[in-house]
Structure 1
Amino acid sequence: MRDALPISSVPILSEIDVVLCRQRAKQIAGWVGMSQLEQIRLATGVSELARNIFQYASQGRFNFYLQRDARGQLNGIAFDAIDQGKGIAQLQEILDGSYVSTTGMGVGLVGAKRLMDDFQIESSDKGTRIRAIKYMGQPRPFPDEAQIVAFRQQLNADGELDPYKELQLQSEDLLLTNNELRIRQQELEDTAQELENTNKGVVALYSELEKTAQELKEAGESKSRFFSNMTHEFRTPINIIENISKLLASGVDGQLNAEQLKQVKFISDAAAELANLITELLDLAEVQSGRIEIAPTRFSLFAFMEEIETLTTSLAIRYPGVTPLIQLPTSDVCLNTDHGRLFQILRNLISNAFKYTPAGNVKIKVFQPDDAHLEFLVEDTGIGISAENQARVFEEFCRIKSPNLKNIEGTGLGLPLAQKLATLLNGRISLSSREGQGSRFYVQIPLELGSEQSDERELDLSGTTILIIDDSDADRYLIRRTLEPYDPVLIEADSARASIDKLNAVRPDIIFLDLELPDISGEDLLASMDWSMHQRVVINTAKPLGDEERARLEPHCHALLLKTQADYSERLLQCVRALAWRQE
């Protein structure tokens, strides 16, 4: 054996040699410092294999070794069990547990395999060779040559084996093992009782959480209705104030003196500010309640950027210390999205950039990162946002205070509203900022609103074979019902063992693999697949995955899909679409 040193050898020629072999295994295990239970497990496994050699092959040999790890430390005991018998018939059936014997043949072999940490067997009509290792819990320094020589001399000096004494020792081992099993049984019963009590508590907690969630949902809906109703009610008096202010300022009913004009302008500005707040509150309430309407229309990017240029020019008049810089696109494209909502998003971002830039510039750019998306950049050289406040700026009514800027106009609703509107346009807003060095807001949206939905309608899985490996009937049912409209060939397996013949015979185009299978872990099953199949695998699990697990799994699969995700069905279809189109 590689990385192993021979320590002892026992020929199997008679019944007494079987007992001697067991004794030798226990002596070596005790000498290297294995626990008493580990000594018994090793000795029992060796005894079963030695008895098999004597019973079915008449004679053979056991060679024992000290096993080294990569650092040269002692980490286990290894052995070869060799005979020149007729070989083991139905070996595979014996090992996988499907062989039924009337004589008990194979029971000892399976039992010994379970007691070892590493077990390899080769059998033919010329004989059988078993290589096995029992590892130690903690590696320790490898014995030096003098220690090994002294131990071998001790083995030789022990003299002839006393079968009766050995039988007594085996009885003591049996009592010790039974006591250990009794303790483990009691621990299992205690754990089962604890789990039962915990489950009752979890059920009660879920019930309470469900009730609280429902109350929160109702409270949220009440808040949205309140905002919506009240803002509608506020609009009428605000409109009256604005319109009468304009009439007074126009001099229709008589010219006003300078002081009166100044007062009327204060009233008009305050009314406009209040009207803007009402509009933002109403939009936010409609977004939260799901009643906001998105109306996609086709329009030119060039024309849209001209509107943005007009907006920034008007803002520059109010903020003379800020210079707007607009980089127009080099080529025009056609968008099919909600023009008004997209303009509202950028207006809020650009207005914020002017407000929080005492002096400097505000830059607006547009990029096309790929054929399906546009990305707008609003960059300023203002006060910036600290790392701890970057998530807060998207909270409603949140306004970041700065000692350098006072009396900043606004309500704290612009950014939250912009973020929610971007989501409705199937886009997203991201932020990059450093305090004192300005901010960058990125808005990415698809050129075609609803392109994701059209992709789903166009998905055709006819002729695509999909294997679902999962022991949960409900999870397999969900995948099946999600994919059935697209006409795939669906195959199901409720265990790793049930999937093996399907993997090899069918070689599916797409594989959904659960990590927690009843017989073999999903990760071990994945490792057993050939590399060409790895990129067809979508790991589909409810198990929370840490960073280390993700880093270990991601190179060996197409995607990681969590069953607990809120948008699980959509992500499932995205994975299938990507795999199906890649194989076309």
Structure 2
Amino acid sequence: MEDTNRGVVALYAELDEKASSLQQVNELKTRFLSNMSHEFRTPLNSILSLSRMLLARMDGDLTVEQEKQVTFIQKAASGLSELVNDLLDLAKVEAGKIEVHPSSFEVSELFATLRGMLRPLLVQGSSVALIVEEPEGIPPLYNDEGKVAQILRNFVSNALKFTEQGEVRVSAVQTGHTVTFSVSDTGIGIAPADRERIFEDFMQIQSPLQKQVKGTGLGLPLSRKLAELIGGSISVKSQPGEGSTFTALIPIVYPDATELTTVLQPIASVEPTRLPILVVEDHPETLFIYEKHLQQSIYQLIATRTLAQARLALQKLRPAAIMLDILLEGQNGWTFLREIKGDEMTRNIPVLVITIIDNEKQALALGADGFLIKPVDRLPLLNKLNTLITENKPQKILLIDDDPAYRYLVKQLLINTPLRILEAGNGKEGLNLAQREQPNAIVLDLEMPELGGFDVLKQLKNNSVTQSIPVIIHSSAQLDAEAHSQLAKQTIAIVSKETGSQTTAIAQLQDALVKAGLVLEVSGKSHV
């Protein structure tokens, strides 16, 4: 036994030594790749720049043969530059030196950028169509936009290389708390035995097209590492001769995010000019989405992740409404709903149940005032809150504009809404009407004689009687970045009068009014 123990100890020591040696070799490899990649970049950039200068004929004309030679030099340098960049990124990931920079971004804006970046990858006269679908119903993401874009660029670049005809299609759909990004092609496909091998470093599967399309063999391994770095994953479905679909599952909220503003704080300070909405939801991703939905509206999200936090919040404030998820982990949302509706202090607070299961009848039977199924888009959510909080009370808006033609136009745009519209032909009259009538919202022009819109807004916000009235700027004034930023802090929306189509004008104005808390429905039909 003693001999065996000594042997085991010796074996462990040897294994530790081997592990340490392997770690040192790996660190040396990473350091070498990183340093060499940096060293290669400068001369490569010089070659590329000089090639461009020659091809642009900056120092005289080139013969046909010279142009061909310089083009070959440029292509070779571009290929080597791509390899160097991939090596550097890979080395950074392995060394743990790539940082994740989460920020809020829209998938539609990401796709718009990708369309412009990816079009040049199409060969002129190619029989391959690149289709980037318009995403629908996807909430804003709080993740590293640059890394998501890099993954999709790699997918599309690969798909175009191995697709001779047909299409390459980019799409995105929400699946729970993630967004599934897909790049599908009608290319040569991948054999079952090779589907995992393609994610190995420098691996290039032999195919009839391989000799024509050179690559580094690092794009897919790097994409997988980047996806894992931001909390996601990558997979592929493919059949030889039928094309491939590469999929990236990306969390809506980066899992290690620590700066989600107020979302993860149980009770935030209540802003005096906004209506507090108490949200009971245990998923931080969903809270983040709700916060984005309520931004730039009259509502302020008060986030709670447990029923205990919600009960504490109700002791400290009276919310305008409660948004309640019934399916809370380890907690009974139905009991909480009965509590609220059974308590004289809270029974009149509208409760909007939002959950993934269609149990509307049960929710309404237990006293819920409204019901929505997840996922919820911004306008349906705001419309529902507006309806519950307004309770069919008369609504009126005040137009402050010195141009009677524009006042008439706005009234025509809102003719099918149940709004009573007040008019003021100048700033002074507008301030008097605002104080006397207390409208639900004010639509304000900036360019008016005597008392301009900026001064009117300042006086409205400095008056305790009118400071809480939401203001929508509706003007043709050209604003610089600073003026736009200042106005955005004090108003619900800034809508331009210079809108091309009436349909767009109606949509923009109604969207702003919904954010201001108004119900724009007639006979149960929404005009938003």
Q: TM-score, normalised by structure 1?
A: 0.43
| Larger RCO (CA within 8 A; separation ≥ 6) | 2
Query: Where is the helix percentage greater, Structure 1 or Structure 2?
Result: 1
Q: TM-score, normalised by structure 2?
A: 0.47
In terms of Rg, which structure is larger? Answer: 1
